[in-house]
Amino acid sequence: MKLLLALAFFIPFAKADISELQGHWKSACLPGEVFGQTRTDEYIIDESRQTQVTIYYGDPDCTRPIIKAEWDVQFETGKEVETNIKELNVTYNGVMVTPMSEVGSNILEAWGYCGIAEWPVNERRDITNRSGTERCVARLPVSNYTIFSIMDDKLYLGYGFSNDESRRPAELNMDNPFTRVP
């Protein structure tokens, strides 16, 4: 009986099986949207640590990094919605931002990003506690919902993320796969 009670206590706290997502995945050079002309996204996933790294670049070929954002995330896979396509829930728990060049530093300082006046080059800052403030990331933690599939050793995500679980994307973005980094 004690064993059953102990198991009942631990079951809700068991980690989601993310074994199929484990590894280091990287996108191609993509439009930058926020800080730079372009960006790359990486997911580094193992049982003990899950990270999303977004690097913004000041050029169209992703060769001159200007700002890096490192997100502490938690991935959880859900049910299969179609053959070889599953739900993916991503919770963003924290973020560190680093200006990687004078250009990046100047952009962050001009915006007064997260209420911080000075952004020295290569100084990594934890902005988690400033999340949700003006000119900063959304209040953390925040969860987003999408779908995913792994085909031919490439990770495909849905067309974007939704902050509403019932409105997760219905189609995979086949144009922008993530490749496995050895």
DSSP state, residue 17: -
C-beta atoms surrounding 73 within 10 Å: 21
Question: Could you give the number of structural domains in the chain?
Answer: 1
CB 50 within 8 A of CB 44: yes
Look up residue 136 and give its amino acid: C
Helix residue spans in the chain (DSSP H): 2-10, 102-111
Round to whole Å and give the CA distance between 146 and 169. Answer: 6
pLDDT in tens, 63-90: 999 999 999 999 999 999 999 999 999 9
Query: What pTM was computed for the model?
Result: 0.86
Q: Which residue has the tokens 């372009």?
A: 38
For residue 2, being part of any structural domain is answered with no
156 closest CA partner among 181, 175, 177, 171: 177
pLDDT < 50 positions in the chain: 1-15
For residue 86, being part of any structural domain is answered with yes
For residue 30, being part of any structural domain is answered with yes
For residue 116, being part of any structural domain is answered with yes
- Determine the pLDDT at residue 16: 56
Domain range for residue 176? Answer: 19-180
Round to whole Å and give the CA distance between 85 and 81. Answer: 6
For residue 79, being part of any structural domain is answered with yes
For residue 124, being part of any structural domain is answered with yes
For residue 14, being part of any structural domain is answered with no
Round to whole Å and give the CA distance between 131 and 69. Answer: 13
